[in-house]
Structure 1
Amino acid sequence: MRLLLIRHGQTPSNVKRLLDTAEPGAALTPLGQDQADALPDALAAEKIDALYASTLLRTQLTIAPLAARTGLEVHVRDGIRELSAGDLELRGDDEAVETYMTTVFAWVSGDTALRMPGGEDGAEALRRFDAVVEEAAATGAETVAMVSHGAAIRMWSGVRAENIDVHYAPARELRNTGVVILSGAPGEGWRVLHWEGRAVGPDDSGIEASGPAGEAVDGIQGIQGIQGIQGGGGVNGGVEG
Structure 2
Amino acid sequence: MEFGMRDHTGARRLTLKAITTVFAAVALFLTSALPAWAADSITLTWVRHGESYGNIAGAGIDTSVPGPQLTALGEQQAEAIAQQLKDGGYDSIYTSNMIRTQETAAPLEALLPNLPVYEEAGIHEISAGIFEGSPIDSGLGRIAYFLIPVAWTLGLRSLPIPGGENGNGFEARVNGVINDVIANGDTNPLLFSHGATIMIWTMMNVKNPDILLMLTHTLGNTAVVVVTGNPEDGWTLVSWDGVQVSQTPSLGTKLFVNVRDLVVAPQTAVYNVVQALKSRDFSQVVAAVRDGVVMVAKAGVAFVKNTVTDIAQAIRGALPGGAAATSTSVAAKTKSTSAAATTQATEETSNGATDLGDGNKVEPGKAGAGSTRRDSSAQATSDDTSQSASTDKADGGAKKGTGSSRRAGTHKAAA
Q: TM-score normalised by the shorter chain: which range applies?
A: 0.7 to 0.9
CA distance in 2, matches of 1:175, 1:90: 20
CA drift at 1:219? 8.8
Pair 1:201 & 2:210 matched = no
Q: 2:56 is matched by which residue type in structure 1?
A: V
Q: Using structure 1 for the length normalisation, give the TM-score.
A: 0.84
Task: Find the partner of 1:176 among 221, 234, 239.
Answer: 221
**Other structure's SS at 2:220 match:** coil
CA distance in 2, matches of 1:74, 1:23: 19
CA drift at 1:204? 5.0
Task: Find the partner of 1:34 among 56, 76, 88.
Answer: 76
Pair 1:123 & 2:168 matched = yes
CA contact (8 A) 1:81 1:149 kept: yes
CA distance in 1, matches of 2:53, 2:248: 37
Pair 1:8 & 2:52 matched = no
**Other structure's SS at 1:14 match:** coil
Task: Find the partner of 2:120 among 77, 89, 92.
Answer: 77
CA contact (8 A) 1:7 1:148 kept: yes
Task: Find the partner of 2:110 among 68, 82, 91.
Answer: 68
Q: What is the aligned partner in structure 2 of residue 47 from structure 1?
A: 89
Cα offsets for 1:171-205 (capped at 9, x unmatched): 32001000001111122211111111111112457
Q: What is the aligned partner in structure 2 of residue 96 from structure 1?
A: 141
Q: Using structure 2 for the length normalisation, give the TM-score.
A: 0.50
CA contact (8 A) 1:157 1:169 kept: no
CA distance in 2, matches of 1:19, 1:226: 29
Matches within 5 A, 1:139-158: 139-158=184-203
**Other structure's SS at 1:164 match:** coil
CA contact (8 A) 1:7 1:149 kept: yes
CA drift at 1:15? 0.9
Runs ≥4 residues deviating over 3 A? 165-168, 217-220
CA distance in 2, matches of 1:45, 1:160: 28
CA contact (8 A) 1:165 1:204 kept: no
CA contact (8 A) 1:183 1:191 kept: yes
CA distance in 2, matches of 1:226, 1:31: 22
Q: 1:57 is matched by which residue type in structure 2?
A: I
CA distance in 2, matches of 1:170, 1:111: 17
Task: Find the partner of 1:57 among 86, 92, 99.
Answer: 99
Q: 1:50 is matched by which residue type in structure 2?
A: S
Q: What is the aligned partner in structure 2 of residue 224 from structure 1?
A: 379
Identify the structure with the greater strand proportion.
1
Stretch deviating more after TM superposition (143-152 or 31-40)? 31-40
CA contact (8 A) 1:114 1:122 kept: yes
- Greater Rg, structure 1 or structure 2? 2
CA distance in 1, matches of 2:184, 2:225: 21
CA distance in 2, matches of 1:109, 1:219: 29
Can you give the 5+ residue segments of structure 2 that lack an aligned partner in the other structure? 1-41, 251-370, 383-415
CA distance in 1, matches of 2:175, 2:47: 16
Can you give the 5+ residue segments of structure 1 that lack an aligned partner in the other structure? 206-216, 228-241
**Other structure's SS at 1:181 match:** strand
Identify the structure with the greater helix proportion.
2
CA distance in 1, matches of 2:211, 2:225: 16
CA contact (8 A) 1:163 1:204 kept: yes
CA distance in 2, matches of 1:58, 1:25: 7
CA distance in 2, matches of 1:67, 1:143: 15
**Other structure's SS at 2:247 match:** coil
CA distance in 2, matches of 1:204, 1:164: 8
Q: 2:110 is matched by which residue type in structure 1?
A: A
Q: 1:221 is matched by which residue type in structure 2?
A: D
**Other structure's SS at 2:133 match:** coil
CA distance in 2, matches of 1:221, 1:132: 28
**Other structure's SS at 2:56 match:** helix
CA drift at 1:110? 0.9
Q: Kindly tell me the number of residue pairs found equivalent between the two proteins.
A: 217
Q: 1:56 to 1:165 in 2, by over 3 A?
A: same
CA distance in 2, matches of 1:119, 1:99: 12
Task: Find the partner of 2:183 among 138, 161, 164.
Answer: 138
